[in-house]
Structure 1
Amino acid sequence: MWFKKKKKEAEKFPTKDISLEEVRSAIHEYSKDLPPNIPLKILIKDDLSLDYTLLAPILKAIPAKKYYMSKETYDLFEDKDKHIAQALDQVQRAVDQYIAQKKELPIIDYDPYRKVSFFKLEQLNLIKERLEMDFYITDQEQLVTTIKPK
């Protein structure tokens, strides 16, 4: 019953072009009203696309483009960068498992940028293959990012 109501509410809104920044702002607005025990992950479908039915009341529309969000880091991406959201989730889970097992960060030794060491993750069988991009661990909650620190 609840799902049908949610779907009908979303049908009230027109489909239109909405920028990444507008979607990011709507997500921020939506998160302000979430109870503390409800994670932001409820906005993210299994394929990492956003559930627009939850954002439509804020956006006053349904985005024409698909946007994707990492379930682990909450980074937002356009359709063309969906693979980055998937990679972030994969690497973040591996990094979290490595930290839990080794009690240290899986970074390249002496790297001032805290670049993730795929070699260290492979040694514990936490990843199956090396990805084509670099990942770094931030100071903030040991989150993985593709942005090289300055």
Structure 2
Amino acid sequence: MWFKKRKDKKEKFPTKAISLEEVRSAIHTYSKDLPPNIPLKILIQDDLSLDYTLLAPILKAIPEKNYYMSKETYDLFEEEDKHIAHALDQVQQAVDQYIAQTKELPVIDHDPYRKVNFFKLEQLNLINERPEMDFYITDQEQLVTTEKPK
């Protein structure tokens, strides 16, 4: 029996301008085909940039710009806002640890917006420095967001 050597053909994709919304749509499409035991985090590299080798077949291109995604909340950001993705991850991890330790939310008491109280996180040494923006805890799965609830 003769076996043909399989050639690994890596398709080459052009680099072009791709909007944040197009990338977000490609991520959504990609996530629909993921097996349930594989987290969306596989798209996110250590520096929080996206792995375009996985998205290129959907986008039919490689984006000219880098996009960044929070590993904790899956929020997507452009290059100039990548610091927000890093801050989201830091604060989300601290909030999760605070809840695990105290069984309560680290929010300002009686705050209807559920603003994260950095002082409470600092008291348990869960953050080293305060981010330069406000964060709020959503009703959904106690995720952290930068958007103030209405």
TM-score (norm 1): 0.94
Report the counterpart of residue 59 of structure 1 in structure 2: 59
Aligned length: 143
1:140 aligns with 2:125: no
Q: List per-residue Cα deviations over 1:70-96 (Å, max 9, x = no partner).
A: 000000000000000000000000000
**Could you tell me how far apart the structure 2 residues matched to 1:58 and 1:98 are?**
39
* Paired letter, 1:131: P
Map 1:40-79 → 2, pairs under 5 A = 40-79=40-79
Shift of 1:22: 0.2
1:110 aligns with 2:121: no
Report the counterpart of residue 126 of structure 1 in structure 2: 126
Report the counterpart of residue 23 of structure 2 in structure 1: 23
Q: List per-residue Cα deviations over 1:30-81 (Å, max 9, x = no partner).
A: 0000000000000000000000000000000000000000000000000000
**Could you tell me how far apart the structure 2 residues matched to 1:86 and 1:66 are?**
15
Instruction: Look up the SS of the partner of 2:68 in the other structure.
Output: strand
Structure 2 unaligned regions, length at least 5: 1-7
RMSD: 0.9
Larger fraction in helix: 1
Structure 1 unaligned regions, length at least 5: none
Instruction: Look up the SS of the partner of 2:35 in the other structure.
Output: coil
**Could you tell me how far apart the structure 2 residues matched to 1:22 and 1:137 are?**
27
Shift of 1:130: 1.0
**Could you tell me how far apart the structure 2 residues matched to 1:147 and 1:84 are?**
12
Report the counterpart of residue 3 of structure 2 in structure 1: none
